[in-house]
Amino acid sequence: MKVSSIQMNMAFSSPEENYRRAEELIRKAVKDNAPDTVVLPETWNLGFFPHDNLFALSDKEGERTKSLLSSLSKELNVNIVGGSVVRSDGDDVRNTCYVYSRTGELVASYDKTHLFSPMDEDKFFKKGDHISLFTLDGVKCGVIICYDIRFPELIRTMALQGMDVLFVVSQWPKVRVPHLMALTRARAIENQMFLVLCNSAGKAGETQYGGSSLILSPWGEVLSSLEDEKEYIISATLDMGIVSDIRNSINVFSDRRPELYNL
């Protein structure tokens, strides 16, 4: 599987500009890199996140996002892990990822489960209540959103259900990029899986987001990366045979002692 991670610089509180730019970047990634799967960052429709008029600016029931991603995936014959968008759900607002197969079919929908209380995300958004596993081109994948990466029990649960590739979509600030680098590498190594990070670029208000998107092997090796916060697209090919090789040589899953764990 060849993957392209789109480190998008979104316009804060400007959905019209962001939908236009997201489509432009998806088309560019497919044209320049011919990936099987493209990935967008967290809350790319608004940025993270406008407190004023949040509900009014949100994508109503996710309809605009679903229409765009469905049509593009089918037209371009590419899988799309749609980062996440701010979307309404009745009277609630959610931070939601939609995943589309290359046939234009919605194969997964995930609402961020761990909301970032230091920036009051928990006061504005509704928590998700399920994990998200799906299959793209025969590969078992999963997706989490930003702050979720700090909760290893979530990712281990997904790995125990057969996940081989984890997509991490985020709006991670530059000041804490060292944490993001440590956490992503640890999650890839301890779960013996590929990890594809798509972080945002640019600023939202006073916050500079950190970029530094990367693609990691199950050994924690960097297959592709971008060590700055510019808008850019990185790509790498994931050799799925590596997953079975490492799990056969260092079988941490069979050596687990779940009877001792009290989570």
Active site residues: 42, 112, 146
Q: Please spell the DSSP secondary structure of the chain, one letter per residue.
A: -EEEEEE-BPPTT-HHHHHHHHHHHHHHHHHHH--SEEE--TTTTT-S---TTHHHHSEETTHHHHHHHHHHHHHHT-EEE---EEEEETTEEEEEEEEE-TTS-EEEEEE-SS--GGGTHHHHSPPP-S--EEEETTEEEEEEEGGGGG-HHHHHHHHHTT--EEEEEE--BGGGHHHHHHHHHHHHHHHT-EEEEEE-BSEETTEEB----EEE-TTS-EEEE--SSS-EEEEEE--THHHHHHHHHS-TTTT--GGG---
